[in-house]
Structure 1
């Protein structure tokens, strides 16, 4: 699965976090993701593919999900995640 980014498309790679910090969703450059929930690190892991502003996920158990990036926010499975800025 290739991550489709270009000079004109923002990089979605990095950590995405809910406002309360409970869910931490890391999009890795190798088209893998790792999602932590609360104190449970790596609660979900799998692969992803980005097409335009849409993301499709397949976790390692075969479960599928999707989401959309809109105005710098990731909307995924009823969650709203914000990209964490590097410090």
Structure 2
């Protein structure tokens, strides 16, 4: 009897191990290719001011599959251009400050008009989108090249 129990337990352990290997890291969901699912991007809520964000062409991996890119992907800049933050389609961001490229890097998640950041050192922050404007960390960012960005640049002159 003891030998059969060992075989049954060994089989159960193998089944648990196989099941654990079939899910993606830290997700509890089956692993999927990066371009098949982008859980860091959720459908955006309409902006509070009613102005839809300007889509950035060619920034989402899903675009090749015929889906529209997420409207918040792309480059966001302060009116003086000192801080430049790129939201990449793979759930990562890269922020430059002045001449310092990649001053801050990490991951993000967008739900509705809210963005949550976690940088590679573990620091967390958040922000809120309002059309082509992003409020984050006490700064106002503008989608690079948008009407809101041009108006902010003109206001600085």
Would the TM-score normalized by the shorter structure come out above 0.5? yes
* C-alpha separation in 2, matches of 1:13 and 1:71: 12
| 1:69 maps onto 2:107 in alignment | no
Structure 2 counterparts to residues 1-87 of structure 1, below 5 A: 1-5=39-43, 10=53, 11-85=71-145
- Taking CA–CA contacts closer than 8 Å with sequence separation of 6 or more, which of the two structures ends up with the larger relative contact order? 1
Q: Which runs of 5+ in 2 are unaligned?
A: 1-38, 47-51, 54-70, 147-157
SS in 2 for 1:2: coil
Per the normalisation by structure 1, the TM-score is 0.89
Paired with 2:145 and 2:40, the residues of 1 have a C-alpha distance of 24
Q: Deviations 1:14-69 (Å, cap 9, x if unpaired)? A: 00000000000000000100000000000000000000000000000000000000
For 1:5 and 1:29, the matched residues in 2 are separated by 14
Q: How many residues align?
A: 85
List runs of 5+ in structure 1 lacking aligned partners: none
Q: Distance in 1 between matches of 2:76 and 2:118?
A: 17
Cα deviation for residue 4 of structure 1 reads 1.0
Note the C-alpha offset of 1:71.
Answer: 3.0
Greater gyration radius: 2
**TM-score, scaled to structure 2:** 0.51
Segments of 4+ in structure 1 off by > 6 A?
none
Q: 2 CA distance for matches of 1:2 and 1:66? A: 14
